[in-house]
Structure 1
Amino acid sequence: MSQSEENLSPQTVPSPPPEATAVFGDRTDLAARYAEWLRDAGVVRGLIGPREVDRIWERHILNSAVLSEVVEDGARVVDVGSGAGLPGIPLAIARPDLQVQLVEPLLRRVTFLNEVVADLGLANVEVYRGRAEDKEITKAVGGADVVTSRAVAPVGRLMGWSLPLARVGGHVKALKGSSAGDELVRDARDLTRAGGSPGTVLEVGASVLEQPTFVVDVERLR
């Protein structure tokens, strides 16, 4: 992080809560270092709002990392529209057995992601610049076991972008809000057209979060 970014930094991020150790184990220090990146360069570069700093752990880092509860061992995971690295980076820290590929179209965000990955020494993370629907991205990361995202688009549109990146039999597991079930019902035809199953809503993180994380889980059928 540059000196100018340090001078503009907002308040100090809260220390890792006890729940962080339950999720990250002996890699909690890495998660804390990522939290500092979000607090500092993430805010300065407009990836995280200043008001989010005091809730970085629960609302962003832990909220993302608990996706690990529903990702199989050794999976290759593609994070679409990764932005500041959510949920991909917390997931990669919590689960070093995973191969995580971050897909992001904006150069300034890609630059941030590459800097974070290098600083944290995340050998299981790769960063790709592009949109999920780009042919070059499909060629580079297609056939994934799991495709994920966080607050990117409504379910119907999201599946049109994400399902083609999953292998047949693979899953899109997208972090959504409490209205996830309603979205599945509303966009049922879009899921079918995209080659997906009707989908289910999973709750993860109930043991470590005050509010569990909702995950829309759709299997690629064809």
Structure 2
Amino acid sequence: MTEPIPIPPGGARDVFGPNLDRATRYVEILATAGLERGLMGPRERPRLWDRHVLNSAAAAGGFSEGEAVVDIGSGAGLPGVPLALARPDLRMTLVEPLLRRATFLQEVVDELGIDIRVIRGRAEEKAVIAEAGRADVVTSRAVAPLAKLAGWSAPLLRPGGRMVALKGASASEEVERDAGALRKLGFGEARVEVVSAPDAEETRLVIATLGTRMGSRGPRSRAGGPRRR
């Protein structure tokens, strides 16, 4: 017997407002094609709303109006698609290296009729940096350890841009462990912020601001190297 498609909990309307129908359709796609194509595990099906979609959208309050956001290693579209549905003012780009996932993402974007750009490639590739770089925010969810994630995020950010990584219970430990690596990449002190959406699991955000200008050989500090205005 086929399990029923998860229905939206009451809090979903508060999060997605007029885009609730699109969010519901997205969950339906994840529960069907997403599982069939191996982008979501079968055990996640009953938890798509609380553990994945609403959990991702919980970060929406941390973005300013109209910011350019790049979701790296987007996979099935998390957190980028829920964020774009909760905050349609954001200029969202999904970056995904695997062809089958990038194809799925483009199909989702087309099906939902939302203004999201999909780029197939790795975040560190020059072509991806050229196309998606100077973003206000680089975000991600369950992609890599913090130090590696910061190394991928920094070249895509404008000076003063932010890395906003959705992390699990070990977020504080990762921040403490990788503080030195983030400083070397030009990030200021990272902080952990716990946010939540109605009827969803808590989301831990690791937030760090890039305070240096990125050069071709890595970060260029304010004190050393030419300054541009």
The yes-or-no answer on 1:208 pairing with 2:208 is no
Partner residue of 1:137? 128
Partner residue of 2:208? 218
The yes-or-no answer on 1:52 pairing with 2:47 is no
Structure showing greater Rg: 2
Shift of 1:10: 5.2
* Aligned with 2:86 (options 94, 101, 111): 94
* Aligned with 1:72 (options 53, 56, 64): 64
* Other structure's SS at 2:141 match: coil
The CA distance in 1 between the partners of 2:20 and 2:133, in whole Å, is 31
Partner residue of 2:111? 119
Please identify which structure carries the higher helix content.
Answer: 1
Partner residue of 2:220? none
The CA distance in 2 between the partners of 1:33 and 1:209, in whole Å, is 18
Structure 1 gaps of 5+ residues are: 1-8
| Change beyond 3 A, Cα 1:66–1:210 | closer
Cα deviation, 1:17-74, whole Å, max 9, x if unaligned, reads 0010110011111000000110011000000001111010000000001110111111
The CA distance in 2 between the partners of 1:168 and 1:197, in whole Å, is 11
Structure 1 length normalisation: TM-score?
0.93
Residue-pair matches, total? 212
Structure 2 length normalisation: TM-score?
0.90
Contact 2:72–2:123, Cα closer than 8 Å, also in 1: yes
Contact 1:80–1:103, Cα closer than 8 Å, also in 2: yes
Letter in 1 for 2:20: T
RMSD: 1.2
State the percentage of identical aligned residues. Answer: 52
Structure 2 gaps of 5+ residues are: 213-229
* Other structure's SS at 1:147 match: strand
